[in-house]
Amino acid sequence: MPPLFARLDVSGLAAEPGAPPAARVLSGSPRFTTWSLEERPGGLYAGVWESTPGAWRVEYDEWEYCRILSGVSVITEDGGEPNRVAAGDSFIIRPGFRGVWEVVETTRKEYVVRL
């Protein structure tokens, strides 16, 4: 059984490469790196995610808490105002969110997702 206390530390974890689906990309060529620290039955996930610059359409069916560790992104809900987020910012995205995530400067975040 793993310890019941775990730091969000990616050292020694395998990085998982990724990218948004090509049909959702609006600009650039964003590439993701994800370090998964927690994956629980029932849909609870935690880890660290990083993306290179670009913009793509997003659709959230899950709830997500994020804390930006570095970089700058702009998250815009369809019909809403742009939200600039940078190192030190924390926020949640609720299920049903539809919009655009634009990475202006390579962005790294900690995340907790609940399905």
- Cα distance between residue 74 and residue 104, in whole Å: 7
The counts of H helices and E strands in the chain are 0, 9
Q: For residue 27, list its beta bridge partners.
A: 55
Q: Residue 19: pLDDT above 90?
A: yes
Domain CATH for 104: 2.60.120.10
Whether residue 5 lies inside any domain: the answer is no
What is the pLDDT confidence band of residue 14, given thresholds at 50, 70 and 90?
very high
Tens digit of each residue's pLDDT (9 = 90 or more) over 36-92 = 999 999 999 999 999 999 999 999 999 999 999 999 999 999 999 999 999 999 999
Radius of gyration of the chain (CA): 14
- Mean pLDDT, range 16-29, rounded to an integer: 98
In a domain, 93, yes or no: yes
For residue 20, what are its two tokens? 């948004």
User: How many structural domains does the chain have?
Assistant: 1
**Residue 2 forms part of a structural domain:** no
Q: Could you tell me the residue range of the domain that residue 45 belongs to?
A: 16-114
* pLDDT tens digits, one per residue of 95-110: 999 999 999 999 999 9
Above 90 in pLDDT, residue 1? no
Nearest to 61 by CA among 93, 91, 96: 96
Say what the pLDDT of residue 2 is. 75
Q: Would residue 7 count as lying in a domain?
A: no
pTM of the entire structure?
Answer: 0.94
d(CA 106, CA 30) in angstroms, rounded, equals 9
The predicted structure's pLDDT at residue 3: 84
User: Is 11 contained in some domain?
Assistant: no
Query: How far is 90 from 19, CA to CA, in rounded Å?
Result: 23
